[in-house]
Structure 1
Amino acid sequence: MRVGVIGAGIGGLLVGAKLSRMGCDVEIYERLPFAGGRFTNIEYRGYQLSTGALHMIPHGERGPLGRMLAELGARVEIVPSKPSATIRIPRGNSFEDLEFSEFISRLGFWKGLMYRLLILEACLSIGTGSSFRDWIARRLSDEGVAKLADSSCGWALSVTSGEVSASEGVSIIANILKYGGSGVPMGGCRSVVNALIQVIEESGGRIYTNKKVDGILIEDCTAESLCIGGEDITYDLIISDLGHRETQRLIRGDGHIGCSGVKRYEEEVASMHPTSGVKINIGSSESLIDHTGILLTPYAEACERVEPGDKRRPKPRTPWKTPYNGAHGNAWQRSRGRGETRA
């Protein structure tokens, strides 16, 4: 089977590696001059800065991604994060960092009991028909917990807990309970990308960088070929790793008109609102976070906005009012004697 994959991000590389290992003739097209998309590294002044994602594997080697890498034969060493996260809370004009269990214990007996009930419901996949914030509040009404939910969702998804469905939030909790916290790949994101490229090439697959796909030709409700540089290349199966909206923009021809479900799909895509966030990389001579996991800052306050050209200085903040939802300390960089924190 001939397979054409659009995009050499982590998704395109994973599906390319899987199908190549299954014996398919796979060709992957990437418009950028490098593979990896938002899951690779760029070297800058001795630091390896990720292009989008953190240098982390969700749920470490036990999670779906870690297990898939192992099954594909992609040789990546994943170091578990211990602890997986700490929470920064105010203490006077300073702060203290707590592990999650300590944070919960300070809620008191009754709220701690309600937290355990929520965890039980998450294990039973009970959580539909409301937002994640409302799902929590119906059992556990606490300002600190609400702030922590927003901080966690802001860090991981770039949205508030009120914008996450209860079912998705419950699924995230269930996966953490089942697989554990994240892990750090030695060598950063690029080590994962390089390992997958090796699997694809050793299995006969091909990756073309600096190759932009101009269109997907649809005939009789089926994706038949890719338009690249004025040439139509036919495949038995076409897979896009560009996302729904960008993939929809590539559709060419009239072969999709009248296809079952297409109109509804187009309406769903049109109603989507992309999330966005800002990642700040900070280099230091010593560690700012004393572990390899995540530091969540639910009590953080946004910095005062200063417009371009405005010479006013932002108002000073107390030490614990750090202007971000979360941060990640990179163990791989620190093992080389330099600290790197992503906020």
Structure 2
Amino acid sequence: MRRVSRIAVAGVATAALAVTVSACGSSSTSSKGGGESKGIGLAYDVGGKGDQSFNDAAYAGLQKAEKEFKIGGRDIEPQDGESDADKVQRLETLAKQGYNPIIGVGYSYAPAVKEVAAKYPKVTFGIIDDDTIKAKNVADMVFHEEQSSYLAGVTAARTTKKNHIGFIGGVDIPLIHKFEAGFVQGAQSVNPKIKIEKQYLTETAQEGGFSSPDKGENAANGQIDAGADVVYHAAGLSGQGVIKAAAEHKVWAIGVDSDQYEQSALAKYKDSILTSALKNVEGAVYDLAKSVIKDKKPLTGEIRGSLDNGGVGLADTNPTFQGDAGLQAALKKAEDGIKSGSIQVKTS
């Protein structure tokens, strides 16, 4: 299978995706903005830069846009226990400094993006993993995570030697339920009787479900001790602990969001990372920046990445994954079925 590439925005244009023309952002304190963009503003979700997953993918999009469009950028880390008011202040600071577009990396930014976007109507805002804002100057960048997770489930079910696999979600929320639902359905399409361990690390993000490698490691150790020999995580920074546990037990891990086999911080574990369910956050960030800075036609409305438009997929960098002809044939069949609609992937 081909690695996921940059989202083809034209391929996801729908009635819900309204492409509008607006002026670039301002470096003044005016609430309306105006003037030339200073560059991209990026506000990270819990876990921050260095998670080798979700946030790092957003940063890669910022870097690509900076280089290609010869612009600046500013990325800001989250704080422990921060409130929506803290997020509002962070976004307002970026707007006042003239950054445009400004992107909240994660669903937790929804209240802040909605509030600040209303104050700065000439600045384009983006939010990743939330589709509830629906404002004229906001791009709701979301994904069919269940589709890539279905392929991860097919991979796990065809790779396990024990007919026993595991799923670890960072936080027990609807977004992560999509990963679990797709994974379970994909695995059961191969073997309806396969045993699947399932665990969420925390009930809320504030408890560290996306930012605690030790929690991920402990959960993975438990699932592996129970018999799972392939473990898939959707847990952000906590997933590093899942991958560590898999490597120590010499079983397979399946990563998420970024190609974790290629991440330098995980290099010593890479031989245990079979593949990763990719979510092209990098492409979403880049495309929004391009629409504002180069095209002068900011993207707004819902923009949803899927298998069909390259917004989600599986990484194919591990030679073991690449070389399994039977697995590749099964994945091709599954991918074709999802694209044609003959396979309807559940989201819960």
Q: Which has the larger radius of gyration?
A: 1
Task: Give the TM-score normalised by the residue count of structure 1.
Answer: 0.31
The structure whose residues are more often helix, as a share, is 2
Task: Give the TM-score normalised by the residue count of structure 2.
Answer: 0.30
